[in-house]
Amino acid sequence: MSSSLLSQSRSLFIRRWGEMAASWGISRTMAEIHALLFISNRPLCTDDLMDQLQVSRGNVSMNLRQLVIWGLVDRVHQRGDRKEYFVAECDVWQMFEIITRERRRREIEPIVETIDRCRDMLKEELKELRRSKDDKRREIVQFRQRLDDMQEFLTLANSLFNLLVKVGKSKVGDVMKTLGRLAR
């Protein structure tokens, strides 16, 4: 019976991890492969992943490649076997850093670059309207203020992430206690 509960528990975890994939901006299959490797007590090959997740070889291969690029999965070789095997990073703190860095690279950095470009464009527009006091100038000033607020927030969030990475998992509990005291 416990084997059945183990199987149900593993399936539930893999399914939920896959459902979170949209939040990360990755495919469900990529997250499910990662989840299966994370909970596995041994390295798995492409065939194992295909069988257990019921997905095609191409889908597994493409998603494994991305997981390796991200640094969430490593290739390992079994002596006497020509197949490639894979293992997941199992340090949860390290996974958090990797996922957060990748999300920052894919989501935050492009919006910060866009905000910078927009602010530069507005600066030029304001130069042309320097003496004008019309509605267009007010609209530009208001838009620029909102961009400034967004940039300030993103800079603060980025600093917080950098601080958490710098203090590391051994000290993050202390940081949380301090923040908890400040929140009261």
Tens digit of pLDDT for each residue in 12-59?
Answer: 999 999 998 877 778 999 999 999 999 999 999 999 999 999 999 999
Distance, in Å, from the CA atom of 144 to the CA atom of 170, rounded to the nearest integer, reads 40
pLDDT score for 127: 82
Are residues 44 and 33 in contact, defined by beta-carbon separation less than 8 angstroms? no
Output 90 or 133, whichever has higher pLDDT. Answer: 90
pTM attached to this predicted model:
0.75
pLDDT tens digits, 122-166 = 988 888 777 666 888 888 889 999 999 999 999 998 888 888 888
pLDDT score for 75: 96
pLDDT score for 31: 95
Q: Say how many CA atoms lie within 13 Å of 114 toward its Cβ.
A: 8
pLDDT score for 112: 92
pLDDT at 176 over 50: yes
pLDDT score for 1: 47
pLDDT score for 71: 93
Count CB atoms within 10 A of the CB of residue 128: 9
